[in-house]
Amino acid sequence: MSQDLFQAPDYYQLDELLSEEHILVRDAAREWVKREVSPIIEDAAQQAKFPISIISGLAEIGAFGPYIPEEYGGAGLDQISYGLIMQEIERGDSGVRSTASVQSSLVMYPIWKYGNEEQKQKYLPKLASGEYLGCFGLTEPDHGSNPGGMVTNIKDMGDHYLLNGAKMWISNAPFADIAVVWAKNEEGRIKGLIVERGMEGFTTPETHNKWSLRASATGELIFDNVKIPKENILPNKDGLGAPLGCLDSARYGIAWGAIGAAMDCYDTALRYAKERIQFDKPIAATQLQQKKLAEMITEITKAQLLTWRLGTLRNDGKATSAQISMAKRNNVEMALTIAREARQVLGAMGITGEYSIMRHMMNLESVITYEGTHDIHLLITGLDITGLPAFK
Ligand code: TGC
Ligand code: FAD
């Protein structure tokens, strides 16, 4: 990839809405991405290899559990700082942000919120430091948008549970040390449990041939009569609301992350358009390319404002799940549209790995699908404003 010359757009002086701490945290993440992610990410994506060497750096910038209290090894930051870290990481690559999202919101969050003190002490510090990597198993081969239909199950055997079933499309699965898995008990109630690598009957085959999120490892979780000690059950919440509560936190991070990917595409296209000469003038001097660039910065600015406000609502404990859905849906579509437009600004160069745009575009095809598809988030808004569910 050519040198990383990224300059973040701030068209509405949004930095004035941020605290000194927010800016420090964001700039540290921005510098780290420039130094450690940009030089290696294109190769990693081309070779479909997760760049495992960056795990310790992710931990150092506070990307693993940004809002988890310091007593458990987290960074103890607020929701805006968490969002800004996700924005900067996804500016580098959505797959790297995926790893951080899963670790923070889908593994650390449920242990912190639904686990007991022993579980928090045992797992959270190791997850925060990157010594352990986690994954989150909700989706099944026959239950994607409708996780409530899951068939993965646990049976009470007296001194332990027996876990059977399979999860699919699981980020980090091939190399995760632990998995937070959702399964139904004999009463059909959804429970969260911690499955550890090495437990007999537990395997994690990798999913190959992806054109998207190539720098993130995806796999299955297969449970064949896995003995789960009773102390590995998350005791403090069950039902579908438990995994969905984790998704609220991850979807919020994605809303910020998508802005990062969009900013990178816009910034790249703007620079290229000013330098690329056709018909004896920069293509940036043509009305058609200006329309693309002007619309991009407009959409980025709107998304920044929406997401900053959502962050303040989350800081006050007032953000609703439906508000988070709106931001995830809007921002990911915004980023994907910008990636497609920006790629065209670069002409043929836009399809090469010299520039990040095509990689962002392919990544965003996963981001618009996972954590609730574009359609599902629209239906969540529909339900919220009408009171009438249209899923079934
Ligand atoms: P429904 O009857 O509406 O709700 C069941 C219970 O859950 C509660 N609830 C929530 N709680 C917390 N947060 C939310 N966002 C919640 N939404 C609903 C609800 O109040 C109810 O509680 P209770 O106490 O009454 O039982 O459930 P439903 O079966 O009708 O489904 C609703 C629907 C479709 C919105 C939900 O199933 C959904 O969101 N589906 C999308 C599935 C999804 O997002 N999967 C993501 C898998 S993880 C992933 O993709 C990780 S990618 C990571 C990466 O690499 O970055
Ligand atoms: P389906 O649910 O089969 O949907 C197919 C299509 O039908 C979609 O367009 C959808 O919007 C539409 N649709 C579904 N229901 C309705 C309806 N009621 N009305 C109208 N349209 C509808 N899952 C995890 O648990 N953990 C992970 O770590 C994880 N990581 C992932 C990583 C990647 C790279 C990808 C691609 C996925 C990952 N997922 C993960 C799974 C992801 O959450 C699911 O793919 C997603 O929830 C959609 O499920 P599905 O693919 O089965 O699609």
Q: Is 131's pLDDT higher than 90?
A: yes
**Which of 221, 365, 370 to mutate to test ligand 2, by most ligand atoms within 8 A of the CB atom?**
370
Share of the chain above pLDDT 70, in %: 99
Question: Parallel, antiparallel, or unpaired for β 178-184 and 134-137?
Answer: parallel
**What is the mean predicted confidence (pLDDT) over 354-373?**
98
Is the shortest distance between the CB of 139 and ligand 1 below 6 Å?
yes
**What is the mean predicted confidence (pLDDT) over 131-146?**
98
Which tokens go with 142? 């026959």
**What is the mean predicted confidence (pLDDT) over 340-351?**
98
C-alpha 241 – ligand 1 centre gap (Å): 6
Ligand 2 atom with the shortest distance to the CA of 374:
11
Half-sphere exposure of 307 (CA within 13 A, CB side): 32
Q: Render pLDDT for 148-170 as a digit per residue (tens, 0 to 9).
A: 999 999 999 999 999 999 999 99
Cβ burial, residue 25 (10 Å; 0-12/13-18/19+): buried
The span from the CA of 205 to the CA of 189, in Å, is 27
Ligand 1 atom with the shortest distance to the CA of 216:
55
**pLDDT at residue number 3:** 84
**What is the mean predicted confidence (pLDDT) over 316-345?**
98
Specify the DSSP class assigned to residue 167. Answer: E
Q: Render pLDDT for 110-122 as a digit per residue (tens, 0 to 9).
A: 999 999 999 999 9
Q: Is 146's pLDDT higher than 70?
A: yes
Cβ burial, residue 23 (10 Å; 0-12/13-18/19+): middle
Q: Of the listed 42, 90, 299, 371, which one is catalytic?
A: 371
Q: Render pLDDT for 3-38 as a digit per residue (tens, 0 to 9).
A: 899 999 999 999 999 999 999 999 999 999 999 999
pTM value?
A: 0.98
Which tokens go with 222? 């297969």
**pLDDT at residue number 392:** 86
C-alpha 10 – ligand 2 centre gap (Å): 33
Is the shortest distance between the CB of 218 and ligand 2 below 6 Å?
yes
Q: Render pLDDT for 220-252 as a digit per residue (tens, 0 to 9).
A: 999 999 999 999 999 999 999 999 999 999 999
Helix (H, G, I), strand (E, B) or coil at 300: helix
Give the model's confidence band at 56: pLDDT under 50 very low, under 70 low, under 90 confident, else very high. Answer: very high
**pLDDT at residue number 1:** 64
The answer to whether 371 is a known catalytic residue is yes
C-alpha 285 – ligand 2 centre gap (Å): 42
**What is the mean predicted confidence (pLDDT) over 51-61?**
96
C-alpha 219 – ligand 2 centre gap (Å): 15
The span from the CA of 203 to the CA of 205, in Å, is 6
**Closest ligand to the CA of 254:** 1
Is the shortest distance between the CB of 77 and ligand 2 below 6 Å?
no
Helix (H, G, I), strand (E, B) or coil at 369: coil
Nearest to 119 by CA among 181, 72, 152: 72
**What is the mean predicted confidence (pLDDT) over 210-229?**
98
CB-based contacts of 6: which residues, under 8 Å, 6+ apart? 30, 34, 38, 91, 263, 264, 267, 268
